[in-house]
């Protein structure tokens, strides 16, 4: 004998636990997982604050990522309480011990005057473009929105800056600033993949903008065709959420460190030479700064540039993409950022080594409050003048 859909839902409802919206409302912020099983367009028009969105059709495949603990108290809701009843039955069959379906659904929740969030939504084109991010629980629509709202400054559109810029643009970082006073040269193209042969002689910031917007026209590229110095750095970097250090010289790296500590902006730092790369994240006051790691740079003869000593063309790709990964993690708040750790990559041996980096209690910069650091001391290090004279 066949059963009507309505009868089936009534039967399911008799087998699960339901909760009234007023009782459910008292559970908000109480460690209870609210799961919205409606379709995306319904969720986007408004939902219970803090609710996780899993359309019912994806419930079985996504619930483990969203609510891994089978003992977690879960409140499911839909528009009227029918789809959520079916979903509650499914979760019980999956072993969830404490599942309730909200009667009357989101419609009754709103009618009772309870608060709800209306998220800023992505356009259909953005949903398609970033669909693979949407599927990753650590990013999802919220993380993608954070990326779209983020402002990242790239120091250099060279070896490290090229892959970083391309991938951050592709990832949808909304505003990407680039500081570089150089022009594209034929010798750059062995590794600086954002530039092209037909753009030789073009300012690197223009060339980079063309490539980034070709990948993703949504990205606002802010160009600084200049060299960072003590007179312009504070103005340029202020307002950025994360800075990517791909500078090719020590004075700029120390200057950036000091200014970023003053403004409390995290720096994802990498450097390369030959077959070796180094990577760390310097988060002011949360971890060590560049000066804690390197109180003073080596003399010029022990610090050759890539121009003098050469670099494997692939290496800045490897290190730059590790930088880009750290940037995305910082923006969306996922994982464990490389703060207080230095990652060494040695390409010939194909080895990674991780070293601890400690805050220096006597650090000339980050042991002090930001407003105690003066313009005059930014970027200065012992024997600075001799260093710069030797480096030419």
Q: Which residues bind other proteins (CB under 8 A)?
A: 155-156, 158-161, 245-250, 253, 270-276, 278, 293-299, 302-306, 309, 311, 316, 342, 344, 346, 348-349, 353-358, 382
- String of DSSP letters for 35-79: EE-S-HHHHHT-B-TT-EE--GGGHHHHHHHH---TTSEEEEE-S
Q: Which residues, listed in sequence order, are joined to residue 382 by a DSSP beta bridge?
A: none
Q: Which of 279, 341, 280, 271 is nearest to 311 (CA)?
A: 271
- Whichever of 143 and 288 has its CB closer to other proteins, that residue is 288
Bridge partners (DSSP) listed for residue 221: 176
CB of 273 to other proteins, least distance (A): 4
Contact 37, 84 (CB under 8 A): yes
The CB-of-258 to other proteins minimum distance in angstroms stands at 15
Coil, strand or helix: which one is 136? coil
The least distance separating other proteins from the CB of residue 186, rounded to whole angstroms, comes to: 19
Residue (107 or 190) nearer to other proteins, CB: 190
Whichever of 235 and 354 has its CB closer to other proteins, that residue is 354
Shortest reach from residue 37's CB to other proteins, in Å? 46
Distance of alpha carbon 68 from alpha carbon 66, whole angstroms: 6
The CA distance from 345 to 354, in Å, is 9
Nearer to other proteins, 211 or 247 (CB): 247
DSSP assignments along 224-270, one per residue: E-S---TTTHHHHHTT-SEEEE--SSHHHHHHHHHHHHHHT--EEEE
Nearer to other proteins, 210 or 360 (CB): 360
Choose between 34 and 345: whose C-beta lies nearer to other proteins: 345
> What strand order describes the sheet that includes 220-224?
220-224, 175-179, 151-155, 242-245, 267-273, 276-282, 341-346, 351-356
Please enumerate in sequence order all residues whose Cβ is within 8 A of that of 148, keeping only pairs 6 or more positions apart, or say none: 122, 126, 172, 173, 174, 218
Tokens of residue 145, six digits:
């929105």
Least distance between other proteins and beta carbon 388 (Å): 13
Sequence-ordered alpha helix ranges (H) in the chain: 5-15, 21-25, 40-44, 59-66, 83-93, 105-111, 124-129, 131-134, 140-149, 161-171, 204-215, 233-237, 250-263, 290-293, 306-309, 315-332, 384-391
Least Å distance between CB 285 and other proteins? 19
**For other proteins, which is the closer residue by CB, 140 or 277?**
277
- Residue 252 is encoded by which pair of tokens? 């700029």
CB 212 within 8 A of CB 169: yes
Q: How far is the CB of 215 from other proteins (least distance, A)?
A: 22
Q: Strand 175-179 and strand 73-77: pairing? A: unpaired
* Tokens standing for residue 269: 């730092």
**Shortest distance, position 202 Cβ to other proteins, whole Å:** 19
Q: With contact defined as beta carbons under 8 Å apart, do 15 and 89 qualify? A: yes
The least distance separating other proteins from the CB of residue 232, rounded to whole angstroms, comes to 19
CB of 367 to other proteins, least distance (A): 15
């Amino acid at each position: 004998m066949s059963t009507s859909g309505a009868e089936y839902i009534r039967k399911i409802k008799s087998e699960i636990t339901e909760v009234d919206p007023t009782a459910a409302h008292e559970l908000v912020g109480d460690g209870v997982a609210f799961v919205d099983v409606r379709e995306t367009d319904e969720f986007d028009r408004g939902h219970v604050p803090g609710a996780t969105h899993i359309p019912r059709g994806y419930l079985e495949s996504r619930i483990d990522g969203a609510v891994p603990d089978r003992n977690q108290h879960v409140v499911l809701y839909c528009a009227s309480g029918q789809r959520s009843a079916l979903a509650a039955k499914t979760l019980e069959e999956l072993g969830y011990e404490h599942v309730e379906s909200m009667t009357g659904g989101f419609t009754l929740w709103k009618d009772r005057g309870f608060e709800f969030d209306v998220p800023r939504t992505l356009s259909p084109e953005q949903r398609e473009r970033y669909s693979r991010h949407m599927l990753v629980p650590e990013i999802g629509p919220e993380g993608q929105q954070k990326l779209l709202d983020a402002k990242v400054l790239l120091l250099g559109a060279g070896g490290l800056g090229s892959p970083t810029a391309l991938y951050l643009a592709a990832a949808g970082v909304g505003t990407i600033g680039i500081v570089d006073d150089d022009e594209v040269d034929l010798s750059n193209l062995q590794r600086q993949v954002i530039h092209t042969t037909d753009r030789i002689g073009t300012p690197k910031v223009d060339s980079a903008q063309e490539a980034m917007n070709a990948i993703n026209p949504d990205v606002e590229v802010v160009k600084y065709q200049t060299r960072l110095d003590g007179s312009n750095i504070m103005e340029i970097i202020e307002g950025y959420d994360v800075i990517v250090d791909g500078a090719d010289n020590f004075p700029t790296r120390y200057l950036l460190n000091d200014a970023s500590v003053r403004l409390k902006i995290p720096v994802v730092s990498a450097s390369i030479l030959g077959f070796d790369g180094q990577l760390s994240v310097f988060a002011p006051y949360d971890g060590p700064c560049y000066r804690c790691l390197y109180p003073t740079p080596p003399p010029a003869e022990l610090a050759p540039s890539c121009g003098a000593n050469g670099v494997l063309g692939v290496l800045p790709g490897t290190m730059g993409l590790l930088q880009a990964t750290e940037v995305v993690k910082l923006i969306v708040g996922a994982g464990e950022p490389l703060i207080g750790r230095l990652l060494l990559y040695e390409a010939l041996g194909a080895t990674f080594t991780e070293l601890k980096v400690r805050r220096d209690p006597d650090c000339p910069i980050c042991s002090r409050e930001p407003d105690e650091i003066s313009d005059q001391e930014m970027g200065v290090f012992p024997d600075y003048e001799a260093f710069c004279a030797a480096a030419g």
